[in-house]
Structure 1
């Protein structure tokens, strides 16, 4: 049995469209770009915005970090020191969202304490043949960047891996044309 084009699989992530009003002792908003998080900053609870590049005008506490790696390290440090009641809000494309989600879960946040807001089309793909992760757009097929197998991008999303599954598109000719002997 397959899902029709109007149905979404149970594993397909669902993203928030607006922030919940759950009580929090502190809110941490992490954004790929500061402007993506503007709607999440209007809240009376103390809020810290971590973002890449630019910051936003306003009174909210903000930290602009020069790279994704610096942002991940800063967030990890904040989450390790976080008190009970801290909530995390994340804005960006799926690849960014699920990397931050994984960091937060490893730091001890519960799934209910993390809200994800998808902005952008980039997503993460996992090759089931070699275990390689790569970022893709909305395409339904691509070539694995490591083993060069032509992959069909399944709609199934693994929250554990933070990625969609890529399986061999054509078992009779698994390699991309430029790689075939």
Structure 2
């Protein structure tokens, strides 16, 4: 019998499929340092988390307002913290999906693995979407179909999510499609 060589493992990181992100309830990780971020809808989840025994070194940031007016400022602060954080730090966040997508993308670009991020979606079902035709990203889309802010086409939001872009992909609906009026009024889940 011939000795077969062991297969070589080239990739140790998770393969990221471009599908809908999976969210979970916030919980403490084994990390020594944790950055906990929330918007107003995620505050109850963070309060419940903080009621449990937690790591000594902890940074908590909360945004006010449902439309995330300070999202860019918050992401800049989170970026600085991640740059200074020791290896093995964790990012925990609760809030509406546009904030979570932006945090995931930023942390992923800085080398965080999916295992170092625990994200809980709360609040309204909103999505940042990217038009497959003009490549405009429209923020806070709440319905299955919407009019693109870039090209004016009626688009349908797909469950196809891009971590690189931090957005869901949206494709044009044919103008004669009888489902357009219904989808323009059907909220995302």
TM-score per shorter chain, which class?
0.7 to 0.9
Q: Larger relative CO (CA 8 A, sep 6+): 1 or 2?
A: 2
Aligned counterpart for 1:49 among listed residues 46, 60, 65: 60
* 1:68 to 2:75 alignment: no
TM-score of the two chains, using structure 2 as the length reference: 0.72
Aligned counterpart for 2:146 among listed residues 138, 142, 157: 142
Which range moved further: 101-110 or 143-152?
101-110
Q: Show structure 2 runs of 5+ residues with no match.
A: 1-16, 181-189
Moved over 4 A (4+): none
Question: 1:12 corresponds to which residue?
Answer: 20
Q: Give the Cα separation in 2 of the matches to 1:53 and 1:155.
A: 28
TM-score of the two chains, using structure 1 as the length reference: 0.75
Give the aligned CA root-mean-square deviation in angstroms.
2.5
Structure with higher helix content = 2
Q: Give the Cα separation in 2 of the matches to 1:144 and 1:48.
A: 37
Question: Contact 2:26 / 2:93 at 8 angstroms: preserved in 1?
Answer: no
* 1:109 to 2:112 alignment: yes
Question: Contact 2:26 / 2:46 at 8 angstroms: preserved in 1?
Answer: no
Aligned counterpart for 1:156 among listed residues 146, 155, 160: 160
Question: Contact 1:29 / 1:40 at 8 angstroms: preserved in 2?
Answer: no
* 1:92 to 2:95 alignment: yes
Question: Contact 1:90 / 1:97 at 8 angstroms: preserved in 2?
Answer: yes
